[in-house]
A = this chain, B = another copy of it.
């Protein structure tokens, strides 16, 4: 299993082709996922191990991706911290009583590991058993800044004003909040690894709302602590964020093994900046999967060319699969990356156009 394409690439070892998985590969764009959602809410799925496991496995069966990522929501752990979490239809997460004062931070519980999201641990065990070594399982958690932004804003946000206002005006309460969230995140990820996760990804999806200075001073120390505490477990840690083109050196300084980047930066520029001693994950614009096939092929090829066939590239989107995406385009992409990646990782630059032509012709 340590010999899988995905785990080898995390360690920057050579692979037969470029490994590929997709953020939100389990989700609304899949008819089989919508069928389960018709009878179970998002939180139902996260709280019932057999449903979470089933949904995790759906894209592995359909797409031939090189890793499964456990199905969960990054806000799941906050329920065990005493927060009321809802998912309003079409609105995303809603927290009716946002954390906007030092007292609210002080009231947050620090749950024991087994309280955090126990169904997820069970789901990981089920998925491991079901996959039987076919592909590895990735565990994940929200990074402290991104989770804090939901707690403070009360949901999704465009400008993160309340979050920043809190960070600027209540620096001690901010640190206390980061400290609590970092502890919970570490416990949660450790338990996922114990249950069988073979890699973990920290989603700091909204870190790109900050300036490099604020990220470096007020967020990075906590991410670094989490990464250091996971280090003894011996599994690769992936740190992902969007809009981070301006502070990639800080992301690399986290100590994570793999840095996930979005499409707003060229993969070659990003890799040069974070340093070739890290693996890199990304970075096709998810909107490209709404395009015609020849455009998908052109853009996927551009990402692979920027990776240059170098060991340590894990192909992914720059963020999650969009609900509007045709499932057959996702499958096309996965096959195409495997085809093109085989020629670029092995034979160098030759034969790529031939591989595109071939995959395009098959459809």
Binding site for B on A (CB under 8 A): 158-161, 164-165, 168-169, 208-214, 243, 245-247, 263-266, 269-270, 285, 287-288, 290-292, 295, 299, 302, 318, 322, 324
Contacts of A164 in B (CB 8 A): 285, 287-288, 290-291
**Chain A: interface secondary structure?**
helix
Q: Is A212 a contact partner of B324 (Cβ separation < 8 A)?
A: no
User: B165 and A290: CB pair below 8 A?
Assistant: yes
Q: State the CA gap A266–B217 with chains docked (Å).
A: 14
Most B CB contacts (10 A, CB to CB) among A159, A160, A285 go to A285
Given known pairs A265-B245, A265-B246, A302-B213, the reply for A291 and B160 (CB within 8 Å) is no
Residue in chain B with minimal CB distance to A295 = B168
9 nearest A-B residue pairs (beta carbon): A246-B265, A245-B246, A168-B291, A245-B245, A164-B287, A211-B263, A246-B264, A165-B290, A168-B295
Which residues on the B side are within 8 Å of A169 (C-beta)? Answer: 290-292, 295
> Are the C-beta atoms of A159 and B287 separated by less than 8 Å?
yes
| Distance between Cα atoms of A165 and B209 in the complex (Å) | 25
**Chain B residues with CB below 8 A from A165, complex form:** 287, 290-291
CA distance A212 to B262 in the complex (A): 11
Q: Are A288 and B246 in contact (CB under 8 A)?
A: no
Chain B nearest CB from A296 CB (Å) reads 9
* CB-defined contacts of A209 to chain B, threshold 8 Å: 264
The interface centre, meaning the residue of A158, A246, A263, A295 with most chain B CB atoms within 10 A of its CB, is A246
Q: Could you list 5 further interchain pairs (A-B, Cβ under 8 angstroms) beyond the known A210-B285, A246-B264?
A: A168-B292, A213-B266, A245-B245, A245-B264, A246-B266
A287 in contact with B160 (CB, 8 Å): yes
**Distance in Å: Cβ of A353 to nearest Cβ of chain B:** 18
Report chain B residues within 8 Å CB of A270: 246
- Alpha-carbon distance between A346 and B161 when the two chains are bound, in angstroms: 35
Measured between C-beta atoms, what is the minimum distance from A169 to chain B in Å?
6
Q: How far is the CB of A130 from chain B (nearest CB, A)?
A: 33
| A168 pairs with B213, CB closer than 8 A | no
Choose one: B160, B211, B213, B265; the contact of A212 (CB below 8 Å). B265
Chain B residues positioned under 8 Å from A213 (CB to CB): 266, 299, 302
